[in-house]
Structure 1
Amino acid sequence: MQSSSSSPTSVPFIPTGFDRRDQPSLWVTRHSEMIRPGGRVLDLACGRGRHTRWLTRRGFQLTAVDADTQAIAELAGLRNVDALCADLESGGWPLPGQRFDAVVITNYLYRPLMRHVAHALDAGGLVIYETFMQGNERFGRPRSPEYLLAPGELLEWSVSEGLELVAFEEGETSIPRPAVVQRLCARRPSRH
């Protein structure tokens, strides 16, 4: 596992599971401590809402977006959650002009949305991203290059968008099941 961090002490790779339905990713929990207290967070392609639920319990205001109508209906009744059912891959960016203190994305990749993700960050806002990369096809789904990051792709994207690196990791994990992943935490520079 390769990792880099903007601080001199890089936290070692922590294997996280992609099969855990209710437990938040350790990458998300670790870096969510840097989100402005009580801030607005976008959980993009939120699925069943494991991060939405976990973050609302910590006092954040969530916007949860997914194409799964049943999952969104379950999240719609939660306090401090704005749940939005949207097809992210054919319906365009569903939140024009909205800004967030953080955007969380796990186990999802649709490259045409990435520029929107960066522009949805308020000054000082974080993107916390964790998904599969090339090499994962030998372990299971996803296998299509369309859904697998190239080595260093998230890092290159963050630099191209003018984001400041907080932490980056990529490589193979075996817990709870074998997978090849890439993880990034980056911040939109604060206004001066």
Structure 2
Amino acid sequence: MSTTPHGALAPSPWVMRFARHWPAGSRVLDLACGSGRHVRALAALGHRVTAADRDAAALAGLQGVAAELLAADLESGPWPLEGRRFDAVIVTNYLWRPRLEATLACVAPGGWWLHETFAAGNASVGRPSNPDFLLQPGELLALAAREGLRVVAYEDGFVDGPPRFVQRIAALREDVAPGAAPPRNRLD
């Protein structure tokens, strides 16, 4: 729930920090992608991006960029991604708790989950201010632990440009097939 349109923002440095290490052709889900700032950046890196959002007009601007456009109300109605798996699932500036577990079910074995959104304290600097859309301290860490994901990086605090409180996580689903190499965890 951002007050600034996604399209007006540069790709998140948090997302790009990890995405630059994914093999070209990785299947990536950008959930609640808005105008597609990450869709464009990830497609430029050679990834096959599924752009999911309820705003069909915003998705129309991603025609020819995203590998797949999925116009769906992610908060009500049937979950449009049942049984689908991706090498990476990214979520930025969006929080809908009833779908968090379904979102993580989309992370394939060896895949990444990147989530960056507003956190408790944000009401002191702007919107969103509704606690329903603000992560509580350690909330993403607890979710990763419940889902058996290995946390690679985590931050919770205040950032500038624009001023906001955020929580962000990068986590891996390490349950790879027997005999397969574990996912590489490059941090440079």
**Is 1:167 matched with 2:153?**
yes
Deviates more, 1:57-66 or 1:89-98: 89-98
Matches within 5 A, 1:79-90: 79-90=65-76
**Which residues of 2 match residues 49-60 of structure 1 at below 5 A?**
49-60=36-47
Q: In structure 2, how many angstroms separate the alpha carbons of the residues matched to 1:56 and 1:87?
A: 23
Select the structure with the greater relative contact order (CA < 8 A; seq sep ≥ 6): 1
Match of residue 55, structure 2, among 52, 68, 81 = 68
Instruction: Report the equivalent of 1:116.
Output: 102
Q: Which whole-Å CA distance do the structure 2 matches of 1:36 and 1:149 have between them?
A: 31
Looking at structure 2, the residues matched to 49 and 18 of structure 1 have their Cα atoms a distance apart, in angstroms, of 10
Q: Residues 9-45 of structure 1, C-alpha deviation per residue, up to 9 Å, x if partnerless?
A: xxxxxxxx98772410000000113433311000000
| Preserved CA contact (<8 Å) 2:40 2:65 | no
Residue 73 of structure 1 and its aligned partner are, at CA, apart by 1.2
Contact 2:24/2:46, CA 8 A, preserved across alignment = yes
Runs of at least 5 residues in structure 1 that lack an aligned partner in the other structure: 1-16
Amino acid at match of 2:135: L
2:120 paired with 1:141: no
- Structure-1-length-normalised TM-score: 0.86
| Counterpart check, 1:31 vs 2:18 | yes
Q: Structure 1 stretches (4+) deviating beyond 2 angstroms?
A: 17-20, 33-37
Letter of the structure 2 residue corresponding to residue 82 of structure 1: E
Cα RMSD of the aligned pairs, angstroms, is 1.6
Change in Cα spacing, 1:181 to 1:37, as seen in structure 2 (3 Å) is same
Shift of 1:80: 4.6
Residues 73, 18 of structure 1: CA spacing in aligned structure 2 closer, same or farther, 3 A cutoff? Answer: closer
Q: 1:136, 1:179 within 8 Å by CA — same for their partners in 2?
A: yes
